[in-house]
Structure 1
Amino acid sequence: MPFPATYSTLAPDALAAMTATRYGLDRPRCALISRGVGDTYLVESTEGRAILRVYRSTHRSPAQIATELKVLLTAWEAGVSVSYPLPDRQGLYMQTLDAIEGPRYAALFTFAGGRSVAQPDVAQARGLGREVAKFHKVTEDWVYDGSRWRYDLETTLFGPLRAVKPFFSEYPEGHTWLMEAAERTARVLETLELPQGYIHFDFLPKNFHYPERPVGRDAGDAPTLFDFDFLGFGWFAHDIMSYWQHLETEVFTRRMERGVADAIYAGFLEGYTGERALTAGELGVIPHLRLGFWVFYMGFHTTHDQFLPYLQTGSLRPRVEALKRMIT
Structure 2
Amino acid sequence: MEIFPTQYSTLSSKALNIKLQESYGLSHTTCRLLIRNVSDTYIIENAAEKYIFKIYRDAHRKLEEIKGEVELLTILFQRGARVSRPISDKSGEMLQVFNAAEGTRYGVLFAWAQGNVVYTMNDRQIETVGREMAVIHNITSAIELSYHRHTYSIETVIVNPLKILEPAFAGLEDDHAYLKQTAAEVMERYNQFDEGFSYGYCHFDFLPKNFHFDDAGDITFFDFDFVGKGLMAYDVTSFFIHYFLEFTYGKITEQEARDAFRTFVNSYRKVRPLSNEEIAAIPYLGFGFWVFYFGFQYENFDDWSNLFWGPKFMKDRVALIKKWMDTAHSLLPKFDIDAEIK
Q: Which residue identity is paired with 1:94?
A: L
Q: Which residue identity is paired with 1:227?
A: D
Q: SS at the partner of 2:294?
A: helix
Which residue does 1:292 correspond to in 2? 288
| Root-mean-square deviation (Å) | 1.5
Matches within 5 A, 1:1-328: 1-45=2-46, 47-143=48-144, 147-192=148-193, 193=195, 194-212=197-215, 220-304=216-300, 305=302, 306=304, 308-328=306-326
CA distance in 2, matches of 1:39, 1:286: 31
Preserved CA contact (<8 Å) 1:144 1:233: no
CA distance in 2, matches of 1:9, 1:80: 32
Shift of 1:47: 4.6
Shift of 1:222: 3.2
CA distance in 1, matches of 2:139, 2:319: 38
State the TM-score, normalized to the length of structure 1: 0.94
Shift of 1:225: 0.4
Shift of 1:46: 5.0
Which residue does 2:331 correspond to in 1? none
Preserved CA contact (<8 Å) 2:72 2:145: no
Q: Which residue identity is paired with 1:117?
A: V
Relative to structure 1, the CA distance from residue 273 to residue 222 in structure 2 (aligned partners, 3 Å threshold; closer, same or farther) is: farther
Preserved CA contact (<8 Å) 2:68 2:145: no
Preserved CA contact (<8 Å) 2:9 2:102: yes
Q: Percent identity?
A: 34
Preserved CA contact (<8 Å) 2:65 2:147: no
Q: Which residue identity is paired with 1:130?
A: R
Shift of 1:130: 1.1
CA distance in 2, matches of 1:132, 1:250: 20
Query: What count of residue pairs does the alignment treat as equivalent?
Result: 321
CA distance in 2, matches of 1:244, 1:47: 37
Relative to structure 1, the CA distance from residue 144 to residue 79 in structure 2 (aligned partners, 3 Å threshold; closer, same or farther) is: closer
Shift of 1:255: 1.7
Q: Which residue identity is paired with 2:266?
A: E
Q: SS at the partner of 1:34?
A: strand
Preserved CA contact (<8 Å) 1:34 1:41: yes
Deviation readout 1:43-79 (Å, 9 max, x if unpaired): 0035500000000111101110001011111111111
CA distance in 2, matches of 1:180, 1:106: 41
Shift of 1:174: 0.6
Q: SS at the partner of 2:87?
A: coil
Preserved CA contact (<8 Å) 2:41 2:52: yes
Preserved CA contact (<8 Å) 1:26 1:47: no
Which residue does 1:215 correspond to in 2? none
Relative to structure 1, the CA distance from residue 190 to residue 146 in structure 2 (aligned partners, 3 Å threshold; closer, same or farther) is: farther
Q: SS at the partner of 1:293?
A: helix
Preserved CA contact (<8 Å) 2:131 2:271: yes
Relative to structure 1, the CA distance from residue 178 to residue 146 in structure 2 (aligned partners, 3 Å threshold; closer, same or farther) is: farther
Preserved CA contact (<8 Å) 2:67 2:147: no
Shift of 1:20: 0.8
Preserved CA contact (<8 Å) 1:310 1:316: no
For structure 1, the residue ranges without an aligned partner over 5 or more in a row are 213-219
Deviation readout 1:144-171 (Å, 9 max, x if unpaired): 7771111110111110011011111010
Q: Which residue identity is paired with 2:275?
A: T
Shift of 1:267: 1.7
Preserved CA contact (<8 Å) 1:67 1:147: yes
- State which drifts further: 138-147 or 254-263: 138-147
Q: Which residue identity is paired with 2:200?
A: G
Preserved CA contact (<8 Å) 1:122 1:267: yes
